[in-house]
Amino acid sequence: MTSFIMKNKLPERAYSEYDNFAFHPYNIILTLILFAVTVLFLALSIAFIYNRVQNGVGALKIPWLFAVNTLALLGSSYTIIQAKKAYLNDETRNYQQYLLYTLGLTIFFLGLQFIAWSMLFGSNVFPETNNGAGYLYMLSGLHFAHVIAGLPFLIFFIVASRKQMVDPVTVLVYFSDPEKRLRLRLLSIYWHFLDALWVALVVFLFINQLIN
């Protein structure tokens, strides 16, 4: 009777440190990184507001392409969600395709950002124009750099899936690897964080644009 109760109370799969956000070193490292990046952007945003108030810097017109960039990044966030779902459902083709879609949308976002900066240059708004312009380039440039920093990890997943998933056996091994599952989850968290950070940044910049 006791064994029957224990059997029914046990979870379907054993506890794994890879599924526990609190204790695995990778999870702790990512949490610290995201916390540090959040503090950095908050500090720069506050400094931006302070300089505008103290120095009487007028509002900067933000290129409309900043808003379009948001759609591209939202799209990459969606595709990485789909990639994770395909991984959990052992769908090889969908998994590989959605990873490629995520890479494509991310590169598209980076390209659009270059065009947005070119629009600012065309309006004679340079980093040295005033403090407001300097903070605008700094905030958008730092976000750009963090997107670049995530690309090698995304490319690693794409290359690994192509090399390591060549037949039913290797596909089974790939999908059953708990470390890959953990790393994919961390990558998706980082991507969603960049997405949320960009949305918050664009909203912040457009609100500042309305305040003279």
> Could you give the maximum distance between any two Cα atoms of the chain, in Å?
80
Contact yes or no for 165/85 (Cβ under 8 A): no
Query: What value does the CA radius of gyration of the chain take, rounded to a whole number of Å?
Result: 22
Contact yes or no for 44/139 (Cβ under 8 A): yes
Q: Where are the domains of the chain?
A: 2-210
3-state helix, strand, coil in the chain (%, to 5): 80, 0, 20
Q: Half-sphere exposure (CA, 13 Å, Cβ side) for 78?
A: 7
Tokens 């379907």, residue? 12
Tell me, rounded to whole angstroms, the distance of Cα 170 from its chain centroid. 29
CA–CA separation, 187 vs 147, rounded Å? 11
CATH numeric code, 2-210: 1.20.120.80
pLDDT (0 to 100) of residue 21: 54
Per-residue pLDDT of the chain (212 residues; tens, 9 = 90+): 433 333 443 344 444 545 555 567 888 899 999 999 999 999 999 988 888 888 776 667 888 888 889 999 999 999 999 999 999 898 999 999 999 999 999 999 999 999 999 999 988 888 887 777 888 899 999 999 999 999 999 999 999 998 988 888 888 888 888 888 888 999 999 999 999 999 999 999 888 887 76
CA–CA separation, 46 vs 59, rounded Å? 15
Q: Which residues contact 135 (CB under 8 A, 6 or more apart)?
A: 44, 47, 48, 51
CA–CA separation, 136 vs 123, rounded Å? 14
Q: Half-sphere exposure (CA, 13 Å, Cβ side) for 27?
A: 12
pLDDT (0 to 100) of residue 7: 41
Tokens 């998706």, residue? 188
